[in-house]
Amino acid sequence: MNKNKRGIFSRQFYCEFLPTQPLIGIKLGNGDLIGDDGVGRPMFRIEVGLLFILLSYTNVDYSDLE
């Protein structure tokens, strides 16, 4: 897990075996992640499922912190 100045991840990979909600195919998600500072940041997630395994990548945009 990558950490930025605020201690919240900006990119995260996740692998789950025997997920509680099986997925066959690709699932995309966009939304906002509210951090400890109360500011919402854009979040993008892509999940790839093959029934017994779920691979996920999440990216949160912290470009306003630079």
Closest CA to 52 of 27, 26, 21, 29: 21
Mean per-residue pLDDT over the chain, rounded: 82
**Cβ distance 8 to 65 under 8 Å?**
no
Residue 64's pLDDT band, with cuts at 50, 70 and 90, is low
Question: What does the pLDDT read at residue 13?
Answer: 94
pLDDT at 29 over 60: yes
Mean pLDDT value across residues 13-39: 88
**Cβ distance 42 to 32 under 8 Å?**
yes
Extents of the domains making up the chain? 15-65
pLDDT at 8 over 90: no
Question: What does the pLDDT read at residue 1?
Answer: 40
